[in-house]
Amino acid sequence: MALLGISLIVASVVLLILRRPEWLQQFWRSLYRQASQNQLPRPPQRPIPRIEEPKPEDIDKVSEKKKKKEDEERIAVPEKKVVSPPPPPPPTVVIQENGTTDNPDSPREEQTTPKASAANPSDSVPAFTLSVPELPQQQPKVEEPAVTSSSLSTSTSSSSTASPSMMMPPPPLPVPAAARGGGGLSANLTRQPGTSTLPLPNRPSGGPLPNRGPGGGGGGGGGGSGGLFPPPTHSTKPAKPSRAVVLTPGHSPLDWARLSGHPTADLRGLPKETPYLRVTPSILKKMTGRKGKDAWMVLGGRVYNITPYIPFHPGGEPELLRGAGRDGTKLFGEIHPWVNYEGMLAACLVGIYVSEEDGEAALAAAAAAAKSSGASTGEGMDEMD
């Protein structure tokens, strides 16, 4: 009889575990809540053995027999139920309750395995609420078209926040360029003083520019119709027509480079051993390239014999001789400052340009050198004396 009673008790316990009636789960919940309030970090499986009714260890052994009876009575459940009483889901659910302070719904508790379910979907949006306040701040700044600003959800707000930083400044308006077209002369002038950088980017996209007119460095004559893009120094219509001459064969710039570029080239027109001379103004003014004399020219404080270069000068002999017998530095710079005269005339270097006092000694030395060589330049030097 005792055995039968025990078996009945065990059977009832097992049945309770399997069926999990509603009142039992609520009972467990309340128990676990009390326990969790006492100490928060608590393993979920702790309260289980307390709640269980007094179960002697012997019962486990006997329960196998009683199991068959239960099958006959109610449900056909395999041996799992006795071997391992399933850990009740309520503990895990209770943990969630501590955070949300809400009681879970009863029908959801029927799940055997606890699943993460959004108990309060309305509360799970704090991440979006953070980005929301940024929208009203930046929308007035950007002034975007209606496409992006109309329907902006919280997710797209991040993209909208990135766009203003990437956006370029407002494009140059064509209107001021057109308005500026009226004042033809002011085109070049306005670029230099005030808006130094702004007009430049406008130029390619702004359509026709105002007339460059006679101002600037280039547009000399009728520059009114032309002058779209090139700056004044590179205008399509040069101020003066090209004065370049047709060089005779064998006198191209490349030929001059080949002739004067040789290391041993000596085109000074002086005896080879003659040192660099101190050329005074009185000497220089006689070396004009006329009357059988060489043409000397001062460029940058140095005196060059430009005689051998005459047939190579792209500007022609008359132009080149304009600077002969004098200091042609200024004239040279006015016409073609980009020309590297130092390199081109290195083999033609006679000496340095000095004052009369400083050049007396040099004059005597040069005269002596000229007498010893008897060259044509020697005659010139004699005349200088």
Q: Which residues bind ligand HEM (CB under 6 A)?
A: 242-244, 297, 306, 309, 313-315, 319-320, 322-323, 328, 331-332, 335-336, 339, 341, 344-345
Residues in the chain, how many? 385
Residue nearest ligand HEM, CB atom distance = 315
CA dist 259 and 257 (Å) reads 5
CA dist 325 and 118 (Å) reads 101
CB nearer ligand HEM, residue 234 or residue 336 = 336
CB nearer ligand HEM, residue 200 or residue 244 = 244
CB nearer ligand HEM, residue 177 or residue 324 = 324
CB nearer ligand HEM, residue 104 or residue 232 = 232
**Tokens 């600037």 belong to which residue?**
216
CA dist 63 and 70 (Å) reads 10
From the CB of 204, what's the least distance to ligand HEM, in Å?
A: 27
Give rounded-to-5 percent helix, strand, coil for the chain. 50, 5, 45
CB nearer ligand HEM, residue 85 or residue 316 = 316
Q: Find the radius of gyration of the CA atoms of the chain.
A: 53
The 10 Å CB-count burial string (b at 16+, else e) for 288-322 is bbeeebbbbbbbeebbbbbbbbbebbbeebeebbe
CB nearer ligand HEM, residue 157 or residue 305 = 305
From the CB of 247, what's the least distance to ligand HEM, in Å?
A: 10
From the CB of 289, what's the least distance to ligand HEM, in Å?
A: 11
CB nearer ligand HEM, residue 9 or residue 335 = 335
CA dist 1 and 3 (Å) reads 5
CA dist 241 and 230 (Å) reads 17
From the CB of 318, what's the least distance to ligand HEM, in Å?
A: 9
DSSP code at position 233 = G
DSSP code at position 120 = -
**Taking a C-beta distance cutoff of 8 angstroms, is the pair 66, 10 a contact?**
yes
From the CB of 290, what's the least distance to ligand HEM, in Å?
A: 15
CA dist 161 and 135 (Å) reads 8
From the CB of 310, what's the least distance to ligand HEM, in Å?
A: 10
From the CB of 185, what's the least distance to ligand HEM, in Å?
A: 26
